Amino acid sequence: MGIPKLMDNKFSYSDYLSWNKDERWEIIYGVAYNMCPAPKRKHQEISGKIFSKFFNYLEGKKCRVYAAPFDVRFAEKDADNENIFNVVQPDISIFCDRSKLDDKGALGAPDLIVEILSEYTSHKDLNIKLLLYQEYGVKEYWIINPEDETLNVYFLNQHGRYKLVRIYSREDKVNVILFPDLEIELKNIFEE
């Protein structure tokens, strides 16, 4: 299909819904980002392992975990499709407020997002998405680097700004801030 045609200087969720379903796109502040090519195998293995840790932990609890592709729309609750200018597909998103979930995915900020870096998404995940997630109040943001096997954990402070809590390495165990009784051993996540 190629690059979508820009109308009125911004893309909206309404535009997004009309694009080729065989391609994956995100819109951030009205700018379209193509998510091709598909992630590498290591990326997908890490994503599956992290997802399974959260899925097993959350079974029987109120929070829900979703893996990409899963549309997360950031906008006011009553916004119509033409006025939603942010739709992303985080690698993993966790929602504890089920009223944000709908048949299209979610409208509103997840409580926790995990992004796994790739050569095509690193700049976006480390900069553009970090600001988007901070602005909309994602409480906990994890950025996993498969190449150097690290995890950066950010948490919103009382002023609504992200604070880098810690950079974890392969040998560390991570206690999830939102779920203090959940501990994840990173060597198991990075192990091939």
Q: Is residue 156 part of a domain?
A: yes
Residue 29 has what pLDDT? 95
| Structural domains counted in the chain | 1
pLDDT for position 152: 98
Within a domain: 161: yes
In a domain, 72, yes or no: yes
Per-residue confidence (pLDDT) for residue 38, from 0 to 100? 81
Confidence at residue 124, expressed as pLDDT on a 0 to 100 scale = 92
Which of 12, 5, 16 is closest to 29 using CA atoms?
Answer: 12
Supply the CATH number for residue 177's domain: 3.90.1570.10
Q: Is residue 3 part of a domain?
A: no
Structure token digits, residue 2: 């190629």
Residue 56 located in a structural domain: yes
- Which DSSP symbol is given to 17? H
Range of the domain at 110: 13-190
For the entire predicted model, the pTM comes to 0.92
Structure confidence at residue 81 (pLDDT): 92
Look at residue 2 in the predicted model and tell me its pLDDT.
44
Q: Do 51 and 67 touch, CB atoms closer than 8 A?
A: yes
Asked if the structure places residue 129 within a domain, the reply is yes
Instruction: Write out pLDDT tens, residues 18-62.
Output: 998 888 899 999 999 988 778 899 999 999 999 999 999 999 999
Query: What is the DSSP secondary-structure string of 31-52?
Result: EEEE--SPPPHHHHHHHHHHHH
Residue numbers of the chain with a pLDDT score lower than 70 = 1-8
Q: Is 58 left (phi over 0), alpha (psi -120 to 50) or beta?
A: alpha
In a domain, 54, yes or no: yes
Q: List all residues 6 or more positions away from 8 whose beta carbon is below 8 Å from its beta carbon.
A: none
81 within a domain of the structure (yes/no): yes
Question: pLDDT tens for residues 39-49?
Answer: 899 999 999 99
